Structure 1
Amino acid sequence: MDPACTYLLVCAGCDWRSSDDGLCLSCPRCGDDTLLRSEYAEQRFTVTPERSGIFRYGWLPVRREVEGSQRPAVYRSAGLGKALGLTDLWISFSGYWPERGCRMTSGSFKEFEAFAVLGRTPEQAGVMVIASAGNTAAAFAAARSEGVPRLLVVPSRALPAVAAADAGSADVQVVALKDATYNDAIDFSRKLIACGPGFFAEGGVRNVGRRDGLGVVALAAFEEMGVLPEVYVQAVGSGAGAIAVHEAAERVIASGAADGQSVPRMLLCQNADFAPLSRAWQGQPDDPARAAAPLGLYAPELANATPPYLVGGGVRDVLRAGSGDMLVAGRAEAEAARAMFEELEGIDIEPAAAVAVAALRDAVRDGRLAPDATCLLNVTGGGRRRLYADAPAAAPRAWLVSRGDSPDEVAARVLDAFATGSRPRAVASVR
């Protein structure tokens, strides 16, 4: 597949456009002020049923298909919708739920981005460095792609989830930071990248592969529902998934397939204890005491302290485009929502998804959406209890380090491991 024939990179902030080398993360003119987007030569909404997982959809900026991807299970809810008082609630479930044909060994929708990013990245480009709170690392560990070595940098508490998805490939190495937060992992990953030309950043929300992979949530929903949702609900950290769904919905509308529909109204959800996007949306001033996410958050994967809020095409623009809103939910209400979802829908869900369920329940109660609105709830992760029962995880293998350790020494150790095909010993216990 020649990606130059299928799409271009375009900047919404200026008229720059270019073919893609698979590594470009920003416009050479606008820099980090605006997100790049992919513009596809094929503008029709197409589905190729014989292709697997996310690759059944044409709007992916990839040069090759990576085997093993899954797509979400999209279905109309009966139990939860009735309990919430919604007559047209749809659920996009990502995780491990074999009865619904969903077998994501990472237990998270982050697999969509992992497979798309790896399909976009040229081989032999160096070591891709990915900072993660846990789910993204698990997804990149689960995706098998020879020729794209990955270094996953995570807080040590995330190791069990990463180990459950890790297929044991020599193309994957893990650095685990003791007593660390997600933002600690981001900081340490930047230091590793600065250690030498052997490393490059995956790019996060700035990687068009990541966003267009996550946009499969909207494409799969449109395929199953026949319409775009009027309201879209998701728990967010950086907001990459919400931006992706918005961009994918715009493509569906531009294709003419959506019959005059508008982009979905976004209801985005965060921890009540740490909600930088919500504070920004409400116009609250920066608070130095809230600059870093505390340890022990209910859903730590939502704790990105520097989300892309003000950049062109970022979260603020997406919220404004569909008259959206930011919601929050606390630990107690999220735990109650988690139990309710499992009882009514029959599968366990992850804390981030529970935050979204709790916030949706509150939004219905407070009259923020009409009871008959066509609503899509993105359950971004679930089924791990079932997954671990069916395939118990091996002991995690990682380079366990402290935040104060020398990045140069860690980088040298990791590069040597990639060169020799070795992996560190199993970690006996993590914090």
Structure 2
Amino acid sequence: MTSPPLKHTPTRPSVTLRCTSCGATYTDAEPLWACVASATHGTCGGVLTVDYEWPSALTTEREAALEQGRNDTGIWRYAHFLPLRTPAAPVTLGEGDTPLIPLPRWGERHGLRRVYAKLEYVSPTGSFKDRGAASVVAKAAEWGISRMVEDSSGNAGAAIAAYSARAGIPCDVYVPASAPTAKVRPIERSGANVRRIEGARADVTAAALNAVGDGSSYYAAHNLNPYFTEGMKTAAYEVLEALGSRIPDHMILPVGGGSLFVGLWRGCQEWRSWDWVKSCPRMHVAQSTGCAPLVAAYQQGSDEPAPIDRQPTVAGGIEVVAPPRGRHILSILRESEGSAVPVDDEAILAHRALLATLEGLDVEPTAAVPLAGLAVLAQDGAVGPDETVVVFLTGSGLKDPS
């Protein structure tokens, strides 16, 4: 069915970048991923966020932009709400528009009647990272970047490699020397150059940053890059459109670096500020007890991720000891009146199996973390039986068949 002609052609908002640490601002014409303002000890290096300035006819412009997107698919239905100057030429593999389905049997088992799962693993490379990869690689293509650089042996590496291939941009992915071959192969199959680095995880990041060099290469920085995070907010848009007036009371997801968590909150806040929804959900972080710096900080009432002694965990996708967006994540928890829940490996694997048995959904262990967390919240009475909950299942079980 063809949509009727638009009564108004939307004007794109102007885009600026703002440092959340020092307040410095930049245009989006310069390929930045972190703040480069001068600081006492070198450069600031703070996390950047994207600010939009819409024309004066705010409601008309945004509603026209949303209506225009009805003829498109995936995250590019929201092209006018993303920081691209040329939305007509996106880099896409069909990401977004992931299913939102009820979990009646799992919910009944835990005394909850309105549990929904957002199947983010139903994505081209099998994880939610495709939203961010599409956005950041599209921006890089807009700038004419000659090489993408990423440091990840997991879902982010596979996504950046695939979308770089789609855009025709060479890609280098830096991984720990110990990275399992099974994780590296999908990255190599997309044509990326895999660079194995000896030493600690921080050494891998340092090598990637050193490789960026003269500015012809661009650091995708999935845990830090503002354009990556902007792609993530489209998941919130999809949930809010799908549920209509039934705004979720709670959203819960596994959190490592927090790009999806921050993106979801940003998307909900935007819709609330535009009066498209009346409220935002309570946001909940779920982490493995083996690596839970945000849980520790939340429990201590701290504004910063807490130092931890990392232990091995089956939830390798969220093993981030020092999340760059930690302060922001903790502020979202406070503002939304959410929580941070620790779950152990036994509970993670049990809920992975239970989800498959009761609902027929196969996810990787990291994606089962929020289910284990939701079970704890339900048992503690933090989530009521008739409240609407959206759980984000972030990675396919095919990525970890063990």
For the criterion TM > 0.5, the same-fold answer is: yes
TM-score (norm 1): 0.76
Instruction: Name the residue aligned to 2:345.
Output: 331
Specify the code of the residue in structure 2 equivalent to 1:241.
L
CA 1:15–1:268 in 2, change beyond 3 Å: closer, same or farther? closer
SS at 1:297 equivalent: coil
CA 1:22–1:197 in 2, change beyond 3 Å: closer, same or farther? closer
SS at 1:238 equivalent: coil
Shift in Å, 1:84 = 2.0
CA 1:182–1:370 in 2, change beyond 3 Å: closer, same or farther? farther
| Count of matched residue pairs | 367
Asked if 1 retains the 8 angstrom alpha-carbon contact of 2:297 and 2:305, the reply is no
Once the two structures are superposed, what CA deviation does each residue of 1:85-121 show, in whole Å capped at 9, x if it has no partner?
21111111122xxxxxx4x242110011101111111
- Cα distance in 1 between the residues matched to 2:352 and 2:160: 26
The 5 A counterparts of 1:96-115 are 102=122, 104-115=123-134
CA 1:289–1:7 in 2, change beyond 3 Å: closer, same or farther? closer
- Cα distance in 1 between the residues matched to 2:326 and 2:256: 15
- For the pair 1:359 / 2:377, whether they are aligned, the reply is no
Once the two structures are superposed, what CA deviation does each residue of 1:240-281 show, in whole Å capped at 9, x if it has no partner?
1111100010111122211x22x2211101110111111122
SS at 1:253 equivalent: helix
The one of 226, 229, 240 equivalent to 1:211 is 229
Instruction: Name the residue aligned to 1:404.
Output: none
- For the pair 1:81 / 2:104, whether they are aligned, the reply is no
Shift in Å, 1:182 = 4.9
CA 1:20–1:61 in 2, change beyond 3 Å: closer, same or farther? same
Shift in Å, 1:158 = 4.9
- For the pair 1:129 / 2:149, whether they are aligned, the reply is yes
- Cα distance in 2 between the residues matched to 1:85 and 1:182: 41
Once the two structures are superposed, what CA deviation does each residue of 1:31-65 show, in whole Å capped at 9, x if it has no partner?
44453223153544726233232111232222430
Instruction: Name the residue aligned to 2:297.
Output: 280
The 5 A counterparts of 1:119-158 are 119-121=138-140, 122-143=142-163, 144-155=165-176, 156-158=178-180
- Cα distance in 2 between the residues matched to 1:288 and 1:243: 19
Specify the code of the residue in structure 2 equivalent to 1:24.
L
Instruction: Name the residue aligned to 1:237.
Output: 256
SS at 2:71 equivalent: coil
SS at 1:210 equivalent: helix
Specify the code of the residue in structure 1 equivalent to 2:15.
L
- Cα distance in 1 between the residues matched to 2:212 and 2:17: 26
Instruction: Name the residue aligned to 1:290.
Output: 308
- Cα distance in 2 between the residues matched to 1:333 and 1:214: 27
The one of 39, 43, 65 equivalent to 2:52 is 39
SS at 1:290 equivalent: coil
Shift in Å, 1:207 = 2.1
Asked if 2 retains the 8 angstrom alpha-carbon contact of 1:66 and 1:118, the reply is yes
Instruction: Name the residue aligned to 1:399.
Output: none
TM-score (norm 2): 0.81
- Cα distance in 2 between the residues matched to 1:158 and 1:328: 26
The one of 66, 91, 95 equivalent to 2:91 is 66
Asked if 1 retains the 8 angstrom alpha-carbon contact of 2:50 and 2:226, the reply is yes
Instruction: Name the residue aligned to 1:341.
Output: 355
- Cα distance in 2 between the residues matched to 1:67 and 1:290: 38
The one of 23, 28, 32 equivalent to 1:24 is 32
- Cα distance in 2 between the residues matched to 1:69 and 1:110: 13
Specify the code of the residue in structure 2 equivalent to 1:69.
G
- Cα distance in 1 between the residues matched to 2:204 and 2:124: 23
- For the pair 1:375 / 2:389, whether they are aligned, the reply is yes
CA 1:118–1:32 in 2, change beyond 3 Å: closer, same or farther? same
- Cα distance in 1 between the residues matched to 2:257 and 2:49: 16
Once the two structures are superposed, what CA deviation does each residue of 1:329-382 show, in whole Å capped at 9, x if it has no partner?
111110000000111221210111111111111111121211211111010112
Instruction: Name the residue aligned to 1:160.
Output: 182
- Cα distance in 2 between the residues matched to 1:243 and 1:335: 26
SS at 1:190 equivalent: helix
Asked if 1 retains the 8 angstrom alpha-carbon contact of 2:133 and 2:160, the reply is yes
- For the pair 1:188 / 2:207, whether they are aligned, the reply is yes
Task: Quote the sequence identity (%).
Answer: 23
Instruction: Name the residue aligned to 1:49.
Output: 70
- For the pair 1:94 / 2:120, whether they are aligned, the reply is yes
Specify the code of the residue in structure 1 equivalent to 2:225.
N
Specify the code of the residue in structure 1 equivalent to 2:128.
F
The one of 266, 269, 275 equivalent to 1:250 is 269
Asked if 1 retains the 8 angstrom alpha-carbon contact of 2:364 and 2:399, the reply is no
Asked if 1 retains the 8 angstrom alpha-carbon contact of 2:351 and 2:368, the reply is yes
CA 1:376–1:289 in 2, change beyond 3 Å: closer, same or farther? closer
The one of 126, 135, 156 equivalent to 1:116 is 135
Specify the code of the residue in structure 2 equivalent to 1:52.
T
* Unpaired stretches in structure 1, ≥5 consecutive residues: 96-101, 389-431
Bigger relative contact order, structure 1 or 2 (CA pairs below 8 A, ≥6 apart): 1
- Cα distance in 2 between the residues matched to 1:200 and 1:49: 32
Once the two structures are superposed, what CA deviation does each residue of 1:129-184 show, in whole Å capped at 9, x if it has no partner?
11124010111122243343221122353542453466544xx2222347x77545
